[in-house]
Structure 1
Amino acid sequence: MDKQPEKTWIELEEFVAVSKLPKERVLALIQDKSIESKHDAQKIWVDLHSAAQILAKRGGSKSLVAAKAGYPTLLENTPTDPAYVEKTINTILNLHDKVVGAKDETIAAYKNENTLLKEALISMQEIYDEDKKTIALLQEELDRVREEVEFMRRKYRLMWGKVTDMGNLK
């Protein structure tokens, strides 16, 4: 059984830029169903598999013209087999998918790291707030103890002052 490859879609403008075909020619190929396409509200999407076959046919005819014009090196260095072109495009697409996957993994890792850092920052802020409350409480307690010490000093001064005054009476 021949497994049908998964369709990979690319925007029409991007395909025109990559293929170097005139937009009108691509639209004509879409119109006569040589290239599969789908349409949404704003964009036209082109199937890369069917487009690769069209590019392979186009590349094959150019190589023959180049060979007739006396450029054999161009023919030797450019494999025109549609299967080769399709494999090359599929390899590029697979690499692209791997890069996109790696990008997604990297983004997920950064999100996890950011979440961890955010939680750590929130935890540190809570600890800081608790420490601030503890410091304020200890400051109040210290003020109370100072007042108590000052009160005791006055009390003892008064008490010892009376005692010394009594001693002077003799």
Structure 2
Amino acid sequence: MQTFLELKEFCKLVHLNEDVVKGMMANGALNFKEEEGKIYIEANQGTFSVVPSTVNSKSAMINSMTLAGESFIEKTIGTILNLHEKVLDAKDETLEALKNENKFLKDALYSMQELYEQDRKTIEVLNEQLKNAREDAEFMKRKYKLMWNKTIETFGDARSQKINQDNSQKVD
């Protein structure tokens, strides 16, 4: 497949003036064609003709450019594959880290739930003990009140009898 460029475009591409390019056309170093008053130069062959070289080095240059192009493509593909592999590894590491974090949080939640249950049971036991202690305190209050009332009555009766005896002895 041949690609033709207009004379001015070709000159800009190879950084040569039109006189030099026309001289190369006259020598037969460049393939060209004329259509509608414009000169078109074959781009592929023309760019290799502009570079000074011998006949043997032209084929070597083409082969080296082909090999360099293939090598560049292979290196680029290898780099892309390597980067892709690294991205996949990083993704796997991230997923593993998230799984470990989720497991840790899950275990922590279960532990907190167990502690909550133990605390709730402890609170129930302490409330029961407090209720029993209040009942014991009320019972002791009633018991001592009854005992003191009985003591006061007994002591009061004995004292009033003594007072009555003392008063009756004084009167006599």
Aligned match of 1:151 in 128, 145, 158?
128
1:153 Cα deviation after fit: 0.6
Please give the alpha-carbon distance, in whole angstroms, between the structure 1 residues aligned to 2:91 and 2:3: 43
Look up the match of 1:101. 78
Deviation at 1:89, TM superposition (A): 2.1
Q: How many residues align?
A: 111
User: Does residue 39 of structure 2 align to residue 82 of structure 1?
Assistant: no
Q: State whether structure 2 residue 41 is matched by structure 1 residue 67.
A: no
Which is helix-richer, 1 or 2? 2
- Give me the identity figure in percent: 11
Shift of 1:83: 2.4
Q: Give 1 or 2 for the bigger CA radius of gyration.
A: 2
CA RMSD between the two structures: 3.1
CA 1:66–1:115 in structure 2 vs 1: closer, same or farther (change >3 Å)? farther
- What 5-or-longer segments of structure 1 have no aligned partner? 1-15, 22-63
Question: What TM-score do the two structures reach when normalised by structure 2?
Answer: 0.55
Query: Aligned partners of 1:66 and 1:115: how far apart in 2?
Result: 64
Could you tell me how far apart the structure 2 residues matched to 1:69 and 1:144 are?
107
Q: CA deviation at 1:166?
A: 1.2
Find 1:111's aligned residue among 69, 88, 98. 88
Equivalent-residue separation in structure 1 for 2:23 and 2:72 (angstroms): 31
Q: Aligned partners of 1:143 and 1:100: how far apart in 2? A: 64
Distance in structure 1 (CA, Å) of the matches to 2:126 and 2:104: 32
